[in-house]
Structure 1
Amino acid sequence: MYLYLILNIASFIVPFIYSFEKKMRFIKWWKSVFLSIVIVGVFFIIWDIIFTKQGVWGFNPRYHLGISIFGLPFEEVLFFICVPYASIFMHYAFLYFFPTIKLSNQKTKAIIFLLISISIFALIFAWPKKYTSVNFILFLVLLIYSLLFKNRILNQFFITFLLILIPFFIVNGILTGSFIEHEVVWYNNNENLGIRVFTIPIEDIVYAFNMLYSSLILIEFFKIKFISKRQIILK
């Protein structure tokens, strides 16, 4: 049963098709999007390989093809392309259709400081649980980065992330055992807080935020870089 592959393809195919929609033309940013996804994906895949070897999590062979890449199922590697692309498309689609809906700088800062406080508490409480610790350290770094460099992505991403969580709960819920007999991905609860949203470890929400926000930072960087390069060429 190739459930993991089916979930990857199902997550990716509709957003990819709509990327060619004539008005939004999301596909015009394909270089920035895919380059960013790959860069972030490499980091998360290395993290994935290490944690898989350490038994922090693992994969049920019942639900994948049996093809391994550095100890990871092929579908797990594919996940870091398909799911981020679909999620990032949702973010930019929202920005295209609702460009004025955003949080004020004051509200965004307040949320950031609240999340920083929660992260510090989680690290103190859970240390040295590997999944919780690494996840929240990266979360802290990204939040502090947004403050230091006055990054404005979070003004809208805090909103769009809530929308992204809807398909996230469906896909990740299935992966972690919702609606099926056995989970596709299992977690060692000794390495996390043991708190689940349905069948999903609470850390997975932070994990998704880290992956997507990192990608968005790079996308915006590369968009500016490629536009500047194009302008130089035209001159």
Structure 2
Amino acid sequence: MKYLYLLLNVCSISIPLLYSFNKKMRFIRHWKAVLTSLTIVATVFLIWDGVFTKYGVWGFNPNYHLPYLFLGMPIEEWLFFFCIPYASVFIHYSLAYFKPKLVLSKKITQVITLGLILLLLPVVFLNFHKAYTFVNYSFSLIILVFGYYIGIQHLRRFYIAFLIILIPFFVVNGILTGTGLEEPVVWYNNKENLGIRLGTIPIEDIGYAFSMLFTNVMLIEYFKKK
């Protein structure tokens, strides 16, 4: 099914985009901050994505995407870094709007963040030879450190929002990595990751999603103030 990857992108963003015009929440009023953030983060991740694609860390099954490639990646992969983050940060800001008091305490947030940092440090140092694991978790560590020192207020809500985001994440990413399909839409070279899968999803993808989304949240908050 050539349109599968495109369909996943469109379905992921359609409802959040529609509800962005809700008269009460009016998330669309932040479009400049959101679009600027998405573009910056997408640029960083697409460079990373392109290098990993070139060297076979992962790749794309032509049976599930359109035959239009740019820098070795299908057009759907480029759309992914706008559609999925938009839908995800919309969940975060919807939670902030409808449940403003639903946040973790600052102390608990600090403990969770320090715990994640201490968990990832040995993983990074013991797996420098595995490209996806090393680069992904190194970036996650940087984002967690930034979050601890300058973004703890945002992490207080984001940790809760991320647990909700993981629900559609497992659906979409599960399909992309082969759940219910004869072949995956996106394949991974297990020599470059830990080889641990949650269903069909490499465990590194959770760190990948966290880093990408929380970076967007921090940048959106920065640009909103501008």
Structures share a fold, TM > 0.5?
A: yes
1:149 is matched with: 150
Report whether the alignment pairs 1:7 with 2:4.
Answer: no
Q: For 1:33-55, what per-residue CA distance to the aligned partner results, in whole angstroms no more than 9, with x for missing partners? A: 11100110010000000000010
Cα deviation for residue 151 of structure 1 reads 3.4
Distance 2:67 2:119 in 1: 39
2:211 matched residue in structure 1:
210
Alignment of 1:73-112 (within 5 A): 73-112=74-113
Q: Give the match for residue 49 of structure 1.
A: 50
Q: Deviations over 1:191-223 (max 9, x none)?
A: 000000000000000000000011011000000
In the alignment, structure 2 segments of 5+ residues that lack a partner are none
Q: Distance in 2 between matches of 1:105 and 1:96?
A: 19
How many Å apart are 1:71 and its aligned residue? 0.8
Q: CA deviation at 1:126?
A: 1.9
Q: Aligned partners of 2:5 and 2:91: how far apart in 1?
A: 21
Does the 8 A contact of 2:151 with 2:218 survive in 1?
no
Please give the secondary structure, in 1, of the residue aligned with 2:187. Answer: strand
- Report the AA paired with residue 217 of structure 1: M
Q: Where does structure 1 lack aligned partners over 5 or more consecutive residues?
A: 226-235
Aligned residues: 225
Task: Give 1:22's aligned residue.
Answer: 23
Q: Work out whether residues 177 and 186 of structure 2, in 8 Å CA contact, stay in contact via their aligned partners in 1.
A: yes
Number of the residue aligned with 1:60: 61
10-19 or 125-134, which deviates more:
125-134
Highest CA radius of gyration, 1 or 2?
A: 1
1:190 aligns to 2:200 (yes or no): no
Amino acid in the other structure paired with 1:109: Q
Q: Distance in 2 between matches of 1:155 and 1:92?
A: 13
Tell me, in whole angstroms, the C-alpha distance in 2 between the residues paired with 1:10 and 1:158: 24
* Aligned twin of 1:229: none
Distance in 1 (alpha carbons) for counterparts of 2:89 and 2:149? 24
How far is 1:150 from its partner? 5.2
Amino acid across the alignment from 1:72:
M
What is aligned with 2:131? 130
RMSD over aligned CA atoms reads 0.8
The 1-side partners of 2:135 and 2:178 are apart by: 24
Deviation at 1:125, TM superposition (A): 2.8
Matching residue's letter, 2:215: S
Identity of counterpart residues, as a percentage?
54
